[in-house]
Amino acid sequence: MNIFDRNISPGEAKVKFLDGDCVVLKPGTFVRCAVTGQPIEIDELKYWSVDTQEAYVDVQAAFKAYTRDQK
């Protein structure tokens, strides 16, 4: 998926996170980081949790969420 596809609106996407992949349920150009709230461009998305179905902007946010969930 890229921004030049005709069916993509310039809003927030709804995504189902899988192991090593994700499925776009509602087209959009970005998702939000569950820790920071920052928008993450779909093409730049690298960190997420399958268990919590959350996206993370970087490895630090992913680690913060992981330690949060371990309590």
**Could you tell me which residue, 19 or 7, shows the higher pLDDT?**
19
**Could you tell me which residue, 19 or 70, shows the higher pLDDT?**
19
Does the pLDDT value for residue 52 go beyond 90? Answer: yes
Does the pLDDT value for residue 6 go beyond 90? Answer: no
The 3 state secondary structure assigned to the chain is CCCCCCCCCCCECEEEEECCEEEEEECCCEEEECCCCCEEEHHHCCEEECCCCEEECCHHHHHHHHHHHCC
DSSP symbol at 37: -
Is residue 48 within 8 A of residue 56, CB to CB? The reply is: yes
Distances (CA, A) of 13 to 48, 55, 68: 14, 11, 25
